[in-house]
Amino acid sequence: MERPASPADHALSLSAPPRHPAQPIPDLATVLATGERGDYAAAVRLGAALPEDQRGPALASVFGRWASQDRSAAATAALALTDTLARDIAWSAVVQQWAPADPATLASYASDLPPGAVRNIALDSALGHWLESDPPAAIAWVEALPSSPEDDVIVARIAQHPGLIGSQPELAIAWAEAIRDPVLRSRTLGTVVREWRDINPAAAEHYARTSPELTPGEREDILVGERFTPHP
């Protein structure tokens, strides 16, 4: 018995639309108008037939609008695209809509994805927005993740974000302290303290000398690396 088509089957079909040789290639305006009417699946199929220089902008627009209406469906369709470049463009558009609106849910969704760029893009954006809206909850979520080098890289990227260090250096330090891999943790802490020192040298040095969260090795690396004046 032939199994019924699933939503995933439908999404997979979006990246490979059949087209009769005599059928004209749609123009960008038609694709965008189709998306604006809410017929997102059709818009994606039409967009896949556009010339290469128009395909990216069309997919970004359609998936951005789709995600604003139905994030789950847009995410499923984006990740099912078989063309890597098209998938990355579509996924980025979904993430850009999803992350500001509900970063916690996006972070949870992304954490279940296989390791790789798709997962990293979503986690990076989700955690960045979550950090702005509810720092304690975001940090608690990261701390509860199973130990994984993949997630440590994401946390390090957030901790070293210039905007975060510039506005809330103590929070950037907290992100760095959540890293489980000792080598990456030490390197990230050094980077954050270095940037912090440019903003507030006294506070950065006080942290380096007195924080109970630092191991002796981390403390020595930071003090020597940043050339803080030794105690008399």
Rounded distance between C-alpha atoms, residue 189 and residue 174, angstroms: 9
Residues 112, 165 within the same domain = yes
Which of these three, 78, 101, 124, is where a domain ends?
101
Residues 92, 204 within the same domain = no
Find the CATH number of the domain harbouring 163: 1.25.60
Identify the domain containing residue 219 by its residue range. Answer: 102-232
pLDDT digits (tens, 9 = 90+) for 53-105: 888 898 999 999 999 999 999 999 999 998 899 999 999 999 999 999 999 99
The predicted pLDDT at position 191 comes to: 93
Rounded distance between C-alpha atoms, residue 83 and residue 90, angstroms: 11
Cα angle 163, 158, 160 (rounded to 5 degrees) comes to: 60
The predicted pLDDT at position 68 comes to: 92
> Total domain count for the chain?
2
pLDDT beyond 80 at 143: no
Picking from 82-91, 105-114, 148-157, which range would have the lowest pLDDT averaged per residue? Answer: 148-157
Per-residue confidence at 124, pLDDT binned at 50, 70, 90? confident
Mean pLDDT within 127-133: 85
Which of these three, 47, 75, 101, is where a domain ends?
101
Contact 186, 218 (CB under 8 A): yes
pLDDT digits (tens, 9 = 90+) for 168-223: 999 999 989 988 889 999 999 999 999 999 999 999 999 999 999 999 999 988 88
Radius of gyration of the chain (CA): 23
pLDDT digits (tens, 9 = 90+) for 32-44: 888 888 888 888 8
Mean pLDDT within 133-150: 81
Residues 78, 179 within the same domain = no
Residue 199 to residues 156, 193, 205, 228, Cα–Cα distance (Å): 20, 10, 11, 15
Which of these three, 50, 75, 101, is where a domain ends?
101
Decide which of 17 and 31 is more confident.
Answer: 31
